[in-house]
Every structure is written in C-alpha cells, then in structure tokens.
Amino acid sequence: MLAIDQKYTANDLNARISFKIRHVTWGRVRISLPALLRRKDLMDALKIHLSSFPGVLSVKAGYWAASMTVRYDASQMQREELLNQVARLTFQDLWQMPRETASRREDHQVSLRYLKIATGTVGLSLLLGGFPLLAFGVVYPLVALIALPIYARAYRCIRNEHRLNCDFLDACAITVGLMTGDVINASLMSMLVHMGDYIRDLTAARSRRTIHQLLDFQENDAWVLCDGVEVQTKVRDIQEGDVVVLNTGDLIPVDGQLIKGELIVDQQVLTGESMPVHKEVGDDAFASTVIIDGSAQLKAVKTGDATKVAQVVRLVEEAPLYETKIQNHAELFADRLVVPSLLMTGALLR
C-alpha cells in the first residue's frame, strides 16, 4: 500500500477527487485533476484503476499538467459512467491501492517498443546491406540497442544461476552476425526474440486485466439491512454477519447464506457451470455471481479477500510463479543444447 503523508488529515483523505472536463470527443475525454498535481504516485494509481475497466482502451497521464486522457469504446461504456468512476473516488481510495498495482509497468508496451525498433532495423539492414560503411554507422548501433535486453538476461543467468541458457546462445548468434558483417541475420534474430517476448507479455497483461476485472465489484454499492431499513453502502464496507438485500440483475457482493427468498443465479464466472442454479433458504451463494431472477436476503459469511472469487484470483495470479512440468522439460532440454551447439560451432569453424 502507498504510504500516507502525515500532512493529510482525516477530512483530506475522505475528500472526493475533484476534476474538470477539458476536452471531449467521441470515445475520448481529457480531464484535469488539480489536486493530484505533482503527485505521480496517485496519478499512477488512478491510471491503473481506470485501465482495469471493461471498455477502456488506453489511459495517458500528463503528470506536469495533472491531466488524464482516456480513450474508451463508446459501445461498451458511456462517458458519464467513466466520469462517475472518478467522481466517487476519495484520496483514501487512492492511498489504499496496492503499491505494485500503482507502479506496475506495462511490460507488453516495452516489448512492443523493442519489437517495432527491431522490425525497422531489419528493414534498414535489407536496404543498406550493400553499403557496408553506411550499415556500420546506422544499423549496427540499432542492433546493439535492441540486443541489450537479450545480453542482460544472458548475463543475469550466468551471474545468478551459473549456467548458460538460450539467451546466451541468442546473444552469441547476434554477436557473430555483427562481427562477420551479417547484419541482416543479426537484426532478424533480435526481431524474432522480441516478437516472442511481446506475445508472452501481451498474453500476461490481458490475463492480469481479466483477473482484476473479477474484483471490480468491490467499488459498487449494495443494499444492507440496518435495523430493518435498507441502507446503501459500499461493497468493501460490508462486514461478516450483515444482511444483504438482493434483487434481479444484482451482482452478489459477498459469500453468504440465503436466509429469505429464492434466487436463480448464474455462477459461470466462478464455477464454469453453463446452466443457472436455483438457490433457496439455507443454500450458499458466492460473490461475483449474477442474479438472473428472484429476490432474497443473504447473510454475509465471507467478504473482501476472504471470498471464493478473491481466492481464485489470488491462485491465478500466483500460478505464473510456478512453472509447469512441460515448461521445465522444454527449458531444460533447450538449455542443454547450448553447450553442444557452441562446441559443434567451434569444431566447424576449425
């Protein structure tokens, strides 16, 4: 979580994030946020928060002007809906966002940048292949630039794991290409490596975004019975033991047990069931599932990070940390080919 500055009082933290609309076009809106001027950490938190919404295509933050430009798919999201998401946020909401969420770099954007440069370098190498001096002054520096991440990964593997991996073999191939003047193959090798990196990072980014969308309902409102009166409250403020009032079309906000009424619930997002499930008094219902029909009262048993959907999200987020058995075999087999490949190349060069 972001560390809260001591200069902020309780009233400051509970204040809403004020903004002004500066420019509006179809599928695009630019807003200014004077209160976030020179607060890059909070701007980043808001940027990542807005990027997680379905229908949002891109979010660009102007830190020096405290402005934010959002491009969105107007067929999926209305401008008023987007602005309401900003209007309901408080400084406390931004402070409580995890640090890794606020500062996470979009790896696939970095990979795409390298891929674009590598693709351009391949084109230049083809054009200037017949002009060695010109290629040496223009293409060689570009190949060296795009090969830096490959060299860095190979170096880290040697330093930390004391072994040679595929990155080392790629780095050797690029180096030999540059030393022998075969700049076309060197640039093409770099482009193929960065293409693989981009596909991997893009897949991971889409998976992260889909996962985080499962928990977006924590910012929604729900109706809770308080002394027999229905009171509107934030989903994140619901406590265990509270009685939540549910109606057709609602997203169930917590894990709990029905104490009154009946429901037809779509649980596909959580369990994968294709058919809706009938729920009656005494049955369990789960957060993030959708009510197709019926009305009921649900006693909250688990809320927030304790719900089943939060546990599923946590498991999926942790899954990439553990390599699969097939991946282990593939990487081990590929890495074992590095030394024999180098020895065979050395023998052929003799």
At the second CATH level, the architecture of 10-103 is: 2-Layer Sandwich (3.30)
Q: What is the pLDDT of residue 259?
A: 93
pLDDT at 245: 93
Q: What is the pLDDT of residue 216?
A: 65
Domain boundaries, the chain: 10-103, 107-212, 219-311
pLDDT at 9: 41
Write the CATH number of the domain with boundaries 219-311: 2.70.150.10
What pLDDT sits at residue 297?
A: 92
* pLDDT value of position 329: 52
Regions of the chain with pLDDT less than 50? 1-11, 99-105, 321-327
- In whole angstroms, give the CA distance from residue 339 to residue 331: 14
pTM above 0.75, yes or no: no
Helix/strand/coil (H, E, C) string of the chain? CCCCCCCCCHHHHHCECCCEEEEEECCEEEEECHHHCCCHHHHHHHHHHHHCCCCEEEEEEECCCCEEEEEECCCCCCHHHHHHHHHCCEHHHHHCCCHHHHHCCCHHHHHHHHHHHHHHHHHHHHHHCCCHHHHHHHHHHHHHHHHHHHHHHHHHHHHHHCCCCHHHHHHHHHHHHHHHCCHHHHHHHHHHHHHHHHHHHHHHHHHHHHHHHCCHHHHCEEEEEECCEEEEEEHHHCCCCCEEEECCCCECCCEEEEEEEEEEEECHHHHCCCCCEEECCCCEECCCCEEEEEEEEEEEEECHHHCHHHHHHHHHHHHHHCCCHHHHHHHHHHHHCHHHHHHHHHHHHC
pLDDT in tens, 236-269: 888 899 999 999 988 898 999 999 999 999 988 7
